[in-house]
Amino acid sequence: MKTWKKRTKAVHAGIRRSQYGEVSEAIYLTQGFVYDSAEAAEARFIETGQDEFIYARYGNPTVAMFEDRIAAMEGAEDGFATASGMAAVNGALMAMLRAGDHAVSARALFGSCLYILEEVLTRFGVEVTFVDGTDLAAWAAAIRPDTKAVFFESVSNPTLEVIDIRSVAQLAHDVGATVIVDNVFATPVFSDAIVQGADVVVYSATKHIDGQGRALGGVILGTRDFIRGTVEPFMKHTGGSMSPFTAWMMLKGLETIELRVRAQAATAQMLADELQSDGKLAQVIYPGHVTHPQYDLAMAQMGAGGTVLSIDAGSQVAAFKLLNALEIITISNNLGDAKSIATHPATTTHQRLPDATKAHLGITPGLVRLSVGLEDPDDLLADLRGALADL
């Protein structure tokens, strides 16, 4: 399996077949497992083997299949599946940090990630320094000899700044800090984060991994030592585990993720190119467009611009008019879905931020985040052009 390409792993890695030899992965909807004897139960609690299970909060065969498949795709030794992306972010950080520790984080974060770093960790005595993630000098200045963890979104939400995994990891590793990357926007398809220096990769499986807007989920990926020694004890006792039914959906999502994400990214690229050359918008932000400040880095790090672009309609009034005029693209706040989705971050996902922070992060009143789906690209372009014509 080690020599398989990502697309083959996405279909076959991690499979555990029962005595019936089923083709499609079985859903083991069970919270617990029966032991042959009292002695066997005792032995399993002392040491749980690879294909032995105790309780679904600790692990389950369907969940293990998902963990092994996504870990194989990412090139990680192991993974722990979680109830949501936020359970993964929280679990990765809370499992390894303790009072008195220092962490450095990029400032441009998904609202709930910011809440964990700014409100939760600090409440438990962890000191967090925030930096502009694209500024390597700022990372170098903030990382100290006692820094334990470094956290960032490899592509930030919703302004799509690309952070240099290799360079930040080098700075972090010089002081022995663990690099935790929230890799949602890069997707497992375009990610090579572990090779580039990430120690821990976190995904919200709710996004591209499911890809069809059905369920919440997440995963923490890293070394076997970190996952089984640090993450699992924290997760299994605090309750943020993934359900077997969700794991089955995510396994099925992974089977098609390569085809879906590559098609979505190709459409996003076309839309960004066309909207940019139409010249009607104040700004088109897409890491795959040459005008993006980190275009070269995006190409080197991911080889593509991803499935999301952000456009600036100029004002909140114009942004709302644009959103309300769209006929195919729906107004919602998920991303990575088969359905194209438009979001106004300033009044929804990032509403909580003070105006000064929004301005600092580039979350302008006119900004609209577009998650590109699987519809016909020409229909999506026509939908956007039609809505923009009315502005």
Checking DSSP bridges between strand 200-204 and strand 178-182, what pairing results, if any?
parallel
Task: List the x/- string, 223-242, binding to ligand PLP by CB under 6 A.
Answer: --------------------
Return the ∠ at Cα 213 (arms to 207 and 219), rounded to 5°.
35
Instruction: Using the rule CB under 6 A, give the single segment among 85-93, 143-151, 173-181, 248-256 that binds ligand PLP.
Output: 85-93
The Cα 109–Cα 151 span in angstroms is 10
Q: What is the DSSP letter of 345?
A: G
Q: Which two tokens stand for residue 319?
A: 């942004």
Instruction: Tell me: does residue 182 bind ligand PLP (CB under 6 A).
Output: yes
Which one, 10 or 113, has the nearer CB to ligand PLP?
Answer: 113
Instruction: Tell me: does residue 221 bind ligand PLP (CB under 6 A).
Output: no
Do residues 198 and 385 touch, judged by C-beta distance below 8 A? no
Q: In angstroms, what is the minimal distance from the CB of 335 to ligand PLP?
A: 6
Instruction: Tell me: does residue 120 bind ligand PLP (CB under 6 A).
Output: no
Exposure letters 194-208 (e unless 16+ CB within 10 A, then b)? bebbbbbbbbbbbbb
Determine which residue in the list 59, 61, 79, 85 makes contact with ligand PLP, applying CB under 6 A.
85
Residue closest to 362 by CA, chosen among 113, 164, 156: 156
Which one, 250 or 380, has the nearer CB to ligand PLP?
Answer: 250
First CA to last CA across the chain, in angstroms?
53
- Residue with token string 């009044």: 347
Which one, 349 or 364, has the nearer CB to ligand PLP?
Answer: 349
Q: What is the DSSP letter of 346?
A: G
Instruction: Tell me: does residue 269 bind ligand PLP (CB under 6 A).
Output: no
Q: Which two tokens stand for residue 386?
A: 């039609």
Do residues 190 and 201 touch, judged by C-beta distance below 8 A? no
Which one, 156 or 230, has the nearer CB to ligand PLP?
Answer: 156
Q: In angstroms, what is the minimal distance from the CB of 185 to ligand PLP?
A: 6
Determine which residue in the list 91, 133, 188, 218 makes contact with ligand PLP, applying CB under 6 A.
218
Instruction: Tell me: does residue 158 bind ligand PLP (CB under 6 A).
Output: no
What is the biggest distance separating any 2 CA atoms in the chain, rounded to whole angstroms?
Answer: 73
Number of residues that bind ligand PLP (CB under 6 A): 16
Which one, 74 or 383, has the nearer CB to ligand PLP?
Answer: 74
Residue 158 preceded by cis peptide, ω within 30? yes
Q: Give the other-Cβ count within 10 Å of 340's Cβ.
A: 26
Instruction: Tell me: does residue 364 bind ligand PLP (CB under 6 A).
Output: no
Q: In angstroms, what is the minimal distance from the CB of 88 to ligand PLP?
A: 8
Instruction: Tell me: does residue 216 bind ligand PLP (CB under 6 A).
Output: yes
Length of the chain as a residue count: 391
Determine which residue in the list 147, 157, 307, 310 makes contact with ligand PLP, applying CB under 6 A.
157
Q: In angstroms, what is the minimal distance from the CB of 205 to ligand PLP?
A: 7
Instruction: Tell me: does residue 152 bind ligand PLP (CB under 6 A).
Output: no
Residue at shortest CB range from ligand PLP = 85
Instruction: Tell me: does residue 154 bind ligand PLP (CB under 6 A).
Output: no
Q: Provide CB contacts within 8 A for 279, sequence distance 6+.
A: none
Residue closest to 375 by CA, chosen among 209, 264, 276, 274: 264
Site for ligand PLP in 91-110 (CB under 6 A): 110
**Torsion sign, CA atoms 199, 130, 81, 156:** negative
Which one, 59 or 218, has the nearer CB to ligand PLP?
Answer: 218
Instruction: Tell me: does residue 114 bind ligand PLP (CB under 6 A).
Output: no
Residue closest to 228 by CA, chosen among 3, 41, 68, 26: 68
Q: In angstroms, what is the minimal distance from the CB of 202 to ligand PLP?
A: 8
What residues make contact with ligand PLP under the rule CB under 6 A?
84-86, 89, 110, 112-113, 153, 157, 182, 184, 204, 206-207, 216, 218
